[in-house]
A = this chain, B = another copy of it.
Amino acid sequence: MSVSNFAQQASKPSKILTYETINPHVKRVEYAVRGELAICAERIKDELSNGYSHNYRFDTVVNCNIGNPQQLKQKPITFFRQVASLMEYPDLLLPENRKQIEFLYPTDAIERARRLLKQIGSIGAYSHSQGIPCIRDNVAKFIEERDGYPAEQSSIFLTQGASAGVQSILQLLIAHSNVGIMIPIPQYPLYTATLALYDAQPVPYYLDEEKDWGLDISQLASSLSEGRSKGLDIRALVIINPGNPTGQCLTEQNMREIIDFCHKERIILMADEVYQTNIYQPAERPFHSFKKVLRSMGEKYEQFELFSFHSVSKGMIGECGRRGGYYECTGIDSPVVDQLYKLASVSLCPNVQGQIMVDLMVQPPKCGDESYALYQKELSGIYESLRRRSIKLSECFNQLEGVTCNNAQGSMYLFPQIRLPQKSIEAARQASKQPDEFYCLAMLNATGVCVVPGSGFGQKADTWHFRSTFLPPEELFDGFCERLQRFHHEFFEKYRD
């Protein structure tokens, strides 16, 4: 590690803190989802809103680079926002406002807010660092009902989104720079970014594009043995299910094999399950939680160590800006849980409105409640539309020359492969860009559509992809696909070999 003493840099008197002197691990972090493409898209947005629209053949930028539903006009769940609104301003619940409140809010939202306020007190106070106990109780009940196996509130940590939870667990696991963490390729770049930041080694295993991005257990074994042969201390396996950016959904059988593999190899499992309700082939590919599959495997696996992550940002809820989520510790030694609590306490607590959204996610209106019908209608409206959009977009991609795209079994993304013309690959190299990045930049400049190059997620050598959400509003889809197709055709004409 290079040691540069600030005070001795007499040759560079102007600035003390420079790119050269900062933490080298920070420099190594890459996060393509908000990388160069996204920064470029922001710049174009600014130009458009400052009257420079004549520079472009489109009038809006569409951010397909990030799973951010409400940015793309997805409406929030009404009941959730009603409760949150009452929590913000409890004076609304005073007797003198009764008439107005009963006009504006349904009874069950008022009751829920009253109950939460009684349990929590002010949302302006720091809560328990692990999360408000009664909300953790509700999360435990939710998990029990989902899985049919017990869960305990003391094993649940509320977090500022799933990302914060993943980062805490990786921070705990990374005891030295020789720690290896197995991650899928393609992967969500939170994982490589965090491993770079905390100075650990990614140990990649490849998903099989030919088999709907399926996970082959022999891939895990060969990846593990390759990592170990380099002397790495391989501590955990990350599974993203449903997949991001790849959208696959694991079968129960496959999950059993994965658990068995980790058990045999003494590896901790980290299950990123934030897309658990984004399931588009529920009959053939339903979601199973790793916790449930693990418990169904009986006593032999009782001591198995698993961290499972969930979030309010995805699903039909899409409350990304809220920063709310949780993780469950299964089979984790209690002195280790104590250390996680201590770590959480340094940051005091997750934001309380995020915690309340977790409560609402795990306890939505029930059959018989005043808000149930509207809740169901909103939920299924968003769900059905997402499913339609996922199909529409994969059809659009599959019609493009040289492009193939698997259907999304789950999540919010498609990850099409583009067989780029050799000339475009050479043009990219001359522009010091990755070929897929070059293609995506051209797409952004021609159409206003911002996607993320496959190189930001990892991909097999000499294959090129991009990730696109299917979140733009449905009514824009035809125009959107048309613009994409026109651009793609022109790009291929220009660089045809």
Contacts and interface: CB of A to CB of B under 8 A. Distances in A.
A497 interface: no
A24 to B, nearest CB: 6
A305 B15 contact: yes
B100 A92 contact: no
Interface in A343-384: 343, 345-354
B22 A70 contact: no
A122 B71 contact: yes
Given A26-B172, A233-B3, A336 B124 contact: no
A7 interface: yes
Contacts of A29: 342-343, 346
Given A4-B175, A22-B336, A343-B29, A100 B89 contact: no
Interface string A309-336: 0000100001111110000000111011
Contact of A333 (B18, B34, B86, B353): B18
A339 B26 CA distance: 7
Contacts of A331: 15
A333 B15 contact: yes
Contacts of A103: 97, 100
A486 interface: no
Q: How many copies does the complex hold?
A: 2
- Size class of the contact patch on chain A: 35 or more
Given A194-B346, A351-B322, A125 B68 contact: yes
Contacts of A345: 31, 33-35
A267 B15 CA distance: 10
Given A68-B126, A89-B82, A7 B266 contact: yes
Interface in A46-67: 66
A387 interface: no
A21 B173 CA distance: 8
A274 interface: no
A208 interface: no
Interface string A412-451: 0000000000000000000000000000000000000000
A117 interface: no
A133 to B, nearest CB: 9
Contact of A339 (B19, B174, B353): B19
A62 B7 CA distance: 47
Given A5-B233, A104-B100, A342 B265 contact: no
Nearest to A344: B34
Contacts of A22: 172-173, 175, 336, 339
Given A17-B268, A305-B15, A322-B351, A172 B234 contact: no
A160 B352 CA distance: 12
A66 B348 CA distance: 10
A449 B17 CA distance: 44
A318 to B, nearest CB: 6
Contacts of A350: 323
A303 interface: yes
Given A18-B336, A352-B322, A353-B351, A342 B31 contact: yes
A161 interface: yes
A86 B89 CA distance: 9
Given A343-B29, A352-B321, A104 B124 contact: no
A78 interface: yes
Nearest to A169: B17
A71 B125 contact: yes
Contact of A104 (B21, B92, B197): B92
12 contacts: A15-B333, A19-B333, A24-B175, A26-B171, A29-B343, A71-B121, A101-B104, A122-B321, A126-B313, A160-B347, A167-B347, A351-B351
Interface of A: 1-7, 9, 14-19, 21-24, 26-27, 29, 31, 33-35, 42, 66, 68-71, 76, 78, 81-82, 84-86, 88-89, 91-92, 97, 100-101, 103-104, 121-129, 160-161, 163-164, 167, 171-178, 190, 193-194, 197, 228, 233-235, 265-268, 303, 305, 313, 318-323, 331-333, 335-336, 339, 342-343, 345-354
Given A26-B172, A68-B126, A322-B351, 6 more contacts: A3-B176, A6-B234, A14-B303, A17-B332, A29-B346, A124-B318
